[in-house]
Amino acid sequence: MSLTCKDLLSIHDLSTSEVYEILELSRELKQKQQQGIEHHVLKGKTLGMIFQKSSTRTRVSFEVGMWQLGGMALFLSANDLQIGRGEPVRDTARVLSRYVDGVMIRTFSHAEVEELAHYASIPIINGLTDLLHPCQALADIFTVVEHKGNLKGLKMAYIGDGNNMANALLHICAKVGMDITVATPAGYEPDKRMVAQAQADAGQSGSRITITNQPLAAAEGADVLYTDVWASMGQEAEQMARRRVFADFQINSQTLAIANKGAIVLHCLPAHRGEEITNDVIEGPQSVVFDEAENRLHVQKAIMALLMGGRR
């Protein structure tokens, strides 16, 4: 099987059945890797990886994942590409379509990724934009499945900045019927258009979406606690001001005490310990952040297999 959409730019573009198709194939590929079973479903294929933002997990997981699928990956820095010197995105899209079998791009502007997908004849995967981080959110929900066994009816509390991560988590929870409460300081709420898209999906799945400025109220009764850095890449100049604004939006022992017993803690990493999350929580028994980080590899392999080669 393969996805009906050519690209993965946003989870909102996927059907609920396609989300579960990705999760199921992620499980199968993870099992095969753990058992040492070869799974070269993309043998002879090449992934171009465009990076306009630095990365640890995205680069390593896509590059290793492509190799494990039997293909190869090319690291394409914006400093090395003509796109970084003013070549139109549409030209880069049409040229790369004749060289490689798919492109993963990690950049600032979501509109740039949409333009790349519009003009490319090959699959485009959103590795992160300032608006959305779909691959991470799919890995997050796969981690929840592994630790909780189900999704529908669970509650996620996202506490922190209403950034690309919050937007993507709204999308994925709405698709699978998982309740989500996003707690941010006033003025830092998620993108209104992304909230509206999630609410539309939630109407079909039964997910309950809440946006609040009360972090402890959000954590009450949560099965999953999630946070991200207070200042994302490109916001470094705001870091000191954001520390003051976000001081109460931290996952700590008090937050854990309010959540459901056995709640798991997620963080997309890198973490600023002592800011959005305390060291005792991220290193504690309820933290599954390193399982979550590993699952980027397995989920992205499933995404590439479905988009670039179909499923065997």
Residues making up the annotated binding site are: 55-58, 82, 106, 133-136, 164, 228, 232-233, 268-269, 296
- The secondary structure of residue 12, as a DSSP letter, is G
Q: Which of 12, 110, 296, 298 is catalytic?
A: 296
Q: Which residue has the tokens 């799974």?
A: 39
Residues at the binding site for L-ornithine are 164, 228, 232-233
Q: Which of 223, 267, 268, 300 is catalytic?
A: 268
Q: Which of 228, 242, 298, 300 is catalytic?
A: 228
Residue 228 annotated to the active site: yes
Q: What is the largest CA-CA distance in the chain?
A: 55
Residue 39 annotated to the active site: no
Q: Which of 133, 171, 242, 298 is catalytic?
A: 133
140 in Cβ contact with 172 (< 8 Å): yes
Residues at the binding site for carbamoyl phosphate are 55-58, 82, 106, 133-136, 268-269, 296
Q: Which residue has the tokens 């698709």?
A: 175
Residue 136 annotated to the active site: yes
Q: How far apart are CA 190 and CA 161, in angstroms?
A: 8
Q: How is residue 224 written in tokens? A: 């999953």
Residue 242 annotated to the active site: no
Closest CA to 213 of 242, 241, 181: 181
Quickly list DSSP for 126-177. Answer: EEE-SS--HHHHHHHHHHHHHHHS--TT-EEEEES--SHHHHHHHHHHHHHT
Q: Which of 7, 12, 101, 136 is catalytic?
A: 136
Q: Which of 106, 171, 242, 267 is catalytic?
A: 106
Q: How far apart are CA 168 and CA 166, in angstroms?
A: 6
3 state SS of 42: coil
Q: Residue 155 contacts by C-beta under 8 Å, 6 or more apart in sequence?
A: 178, 179, 180, 181, 221, 222, 223, 224, 260
| Beta-carbon count within 10 A of 15 CB | 13
3 state SS of 45: coil
Q: Catalytic residue positions? A: 106, 133, 136, 228, 268, 296
